[in-house]
A and B are shown apart, each in its own frame.
Chain A
């Protein structure tokens, strides 16, 4: 494992005073705090590093030990002793931020100071680590609200998937993360939905787009065509003279609007006029007659 330069992390010189350390920590914590950087893994990681650096440099005993052994930390005798302490568990104050991207100290810290850090023995309750999971669904799966059972960290979790969930959308299930520390609340479970494309129905927001073939005769003369929608078949009137690529909108026949009951997007049907390719003699003659009219 690599040596971690805590001074560099806090952007400090080696002879920084306690006050300078405090100021540097506050400045960087404000910049990288997970609550101020939602969905930013990089910032969360940086925040953990800042906390770890502050944990060491703000404690005179730890700082002295760190300064003494620094890069040669692997050869210090007391490290073996500290390693034994690792079994006490690595839960720490920073687990409170586990939900923002994992919460342990670096291996470097654990080897040098034992697992967890001094404050881990405190009695303050801290939130458990959050879990993340990805759920792959088909488009039709998210057309209606339904329940699904997931196995997360060995536990069965039954969740309700609301209709209209977007591809890439995340939902939070409070309390389904790991158990809290010192009677702290459990972490949360974040589920990201990955919705596979449907070969027939293309989704764009809450609207659905489909391509429907139309034979030449119906396109020219008009008629009726039965079209499959997400909630059943509908009969559409095709006006005479319908062009290929012309489209029509079926209001309210699209995708359900997320968490808005009885609200739906629209369905857009694009006609693809199919020109006959194998004409028999009679048909050919008739088309020729038509062309001469």
Chain B
């Protein structure tokens, strides 16, 4: 499990962002950090979420409230895409059987 963790300090230095940005994202529930022996880490899956927030913030100047709204809408979109995929599979099955 620890192999999948990367320190938030390293990420901030790499992306040239303030650690407060990550803290604020966490307060909004947009990323989730893990603390091990007083060091704050991010799971690789969470890293992808953080990088998405960094890109949206830098490219489109979206603020925290905007990022929160985007994340919620994207989650809904992913759910719907999965549902469509499952329905397509079911429809294929239906066509095969009948």
Contact = CB atoms under 8 A, between A and B. Distances in A.
A205 B14 contact: no
A228 B91 CA distance: 25
Q: Could you say which interface size class chain A belongs to?
A: 20 to 34
Contact of B47 (A174, A202, A204): A174
A35 B93 contact: no
B21 interface: no
Nearest to B84: A168
B39 interface: no
A96 interface: yes
Contacts of B81: 38-39
A35 B97 contact: no
Contacts of B20: none
A155 to B, nearest CB: 19
A35 B56 contact: yes
Contacts, number: 55
A203 B92 CA distance: 10
Interface of B is mostly: helix
Interface in B8-22: 14-15
A203 B93 contact: yes
A59 to B, nearest CB: 18
A38 B97 CA distance: 33
Interface string B65-97: 000001000100110010001101110010011
A36 interface: yes
Contact of B74 (A30, A38, A202): A38
B56 A33 contact: yes
Contact of A36 (B44, B70, B85): B70
Contacts of A125: 14-15
A29 B60 contact: yes
Given A36-B70, A168-B85, A205-B90, 16 more contacts: A33-B56, A33-B59, A33-B60, A35-B52, A35-B70, A38-B74, A96-B55, A125-B14, A167-B89, A168-B88, A168-B89, A169-B85, A185-B14, A204-B89, A204-B93, A205-B86
24 contacts: A26-B61, A29-B59, A29-B60, A33-B59, A33-B60, A35-B55, A35-B70, A36-B56, A36-B70, A36-B74, A38-B78, A38-B81, A125-B14, A166-B89, A167-B89, A169-B85, A172-B48, A174-B44, A174-B47, A174-B48, A203-B89, A205-B86, A205-B89, A205-B90
A-B residue pairs, 4 tightest by C-beta: A35-B52, A174-B44, A168-B85, A204-B93
